[in-house]
Structure 1
């Protein structure tokens, strides 16, 4: 049986390129989703939208997976939004963490879902499914997002209505946030949909893009490379299908060293 190590056992075993941080908050949304926050090392710097390797000590050995940082770069703590996989090598243990437990975090963040990888534009779309909303939870809480874009649209598609709660809570909290509430007002919009339950907005985001329902609901023109920019994070199939639709509309995939009209994140949790 794999048993996570705690306390001094962890401190003695971690390598120099890893932080050992304490869990400060845990919230479970459904039997499949939860979020947690950990202390932030004073030396840790990242760009909103990046991911980092986090893990636990299991039977004396560290086990890591890539997780997008859900908190913005200015936050005093680090937040993560995770799926629960019953037999997942890491998540079967991670879903049981409690306040005060130790989580390992490697010191080097990275990723492509950052402003630096996009050309300037008018409208930013963030297309997400499930826990793919995590990097966008960081980006929509970053003042730079609203300095660079006039229209900030977060789409979040899940299987069940209850799985939308994290994103809905997030957007509601931003409206009252003293740092970004005022600058986000009138710019940030949430478009969510579900695929397996009755809901006002039903269907995969790719179907809603193709049918034009997304743009009709938002009151905007279809995708246009002159004004629209995109970020994509979700399942592999969703990423590929959404990428195809953006390219069909004339948008090109960019990277940190070559900013263009849209970017994709391919780091996954397991």
Structure 2
């Protein structure tokens, strides 16, 4: 069972009517970029908990940030969205997960493919020096339904200016001029994504990290397998590392 500590809300930032970032102050032990913890609230005498990835890059600070979407019939996200500065949230003390940079072999290119709020772990990695030591170029792809769902643009643009990062926004329900329209799966199948970035990805030069809904992860993995890439395992390193986001 998780050991719970109290986290104090220090900031809530709304990106649109459904997406928001929640910042908590809590004395957590060290964790790695890409890991997650659990947040919980006691509702009607019952503790409701859900897993959320850290958006912030790990540091000595006690501030921890999470990207959330309010689910209409959800048990936890609506109450979390109604919190005010100074209120308390239960936080699992120990972080979890192996969706971290030390689990990925070094390569020339690292492709970070995400949908929705699953961009969170990748945002955490952007500030990790290991990312820029292991890979010559990083391509961050964020698949969303509408342009208003493209969060943390200031952070991403700033990182593109200071590091070898290429950002590819991909919007499925609207036309976009600076990015790609459609879905990640179709952009991979048609090789539109590779052409857009100007990189001929191969098993010899590329690593892929996939984070999103289970169907996206499953379909994208199969597409990459069909292109000759292999799953990354500790016993047998490959090219594809995945995290299903619920």
1:228 to 199, 202, 206: 206
Structure 1 match to 2:181:
202
Contact 2:21–2:68 under 8 Å retained in 1: yes
Q: How does 1:95-174 map to 2 (within 5 A)?
A: 95-164=81-150, 166-174=151-159
Q: Note closer, same or farther for the CA distance 1:16–1:209 as it changes in structure 2 (3 Å cut).
A: closer
Q: Which 4+ residue blocks in structure 1 deviate beyond 6 angstroms? A: none
2:195 to 212, 216, 219: 216
Residue 100 of structure 1: how far off its partner (Å):
1.0
Q: Distance in 2 between matches of 1:84 and 1:225?
A: 38
Name stretches of at least 5 consecutive residues in structure 2 with no aligned partner.
none
1:64 to 32, 46, 49: 49
Q: Which SS does the other structure have where 1:251 is aligned?
A: coil
Q: Which SS does the other structure have where 1:171 is aligned?
A: helix
Q: Distance in 1 between matches of 2:60 and 2:230?
A: 32
The Cα offsets for residues 69-125 of structure 1, whole Å up to 9 and x where unpaired, read as 111112621110011112101112111122111111112212232112211211111
Residue 16 of structure 1: how far off its partner (Å):
7.8
Contact 2:5–2:26 under 8 Å retained in 1: no
Contact 2:2–2:94 under 8 Å retained in 1: no
Q: Distance in 1 between matches of 2:2 and 2:244?
A: 27
Structure 2 match to 1:10:
none
Residue 253 of structure 1: how far off its partner (Å):
2.1
- The yes-or-no answer on 1:78 pairing with 2:64 is yes
Q: Distance in 2 between matches of 1:249 and 1:31?
A: 38
Q: Note closer, same or farther for the CA distance 1:73–1:257 as it changes in structure 2 (3 Å cut).
A: farther
**Further displaced range: 246-255 or 211-220:** 246-255
Number of residue pairs aligned between Structure 1 and Structure 2: 243
Residue 267 of structure 1: how far off its partner (Å):
4.0
Structure 1 match to 2:243:
265
Q: Distance in 1 between matches of 2:8 and 2:235?
A: 34
Contact 2:2–2:92 under 8 Å retained in 1: no
Name stretches of at least 5 consecutive residues in structure 1 with no aligned partner.
1-14, 176-180
Q: Distance in 2 between matches of 1:255 and 1:97?
A: 40
| Cα RMSD (Å) | 1.9
Structure 2 match to 1:28:
14
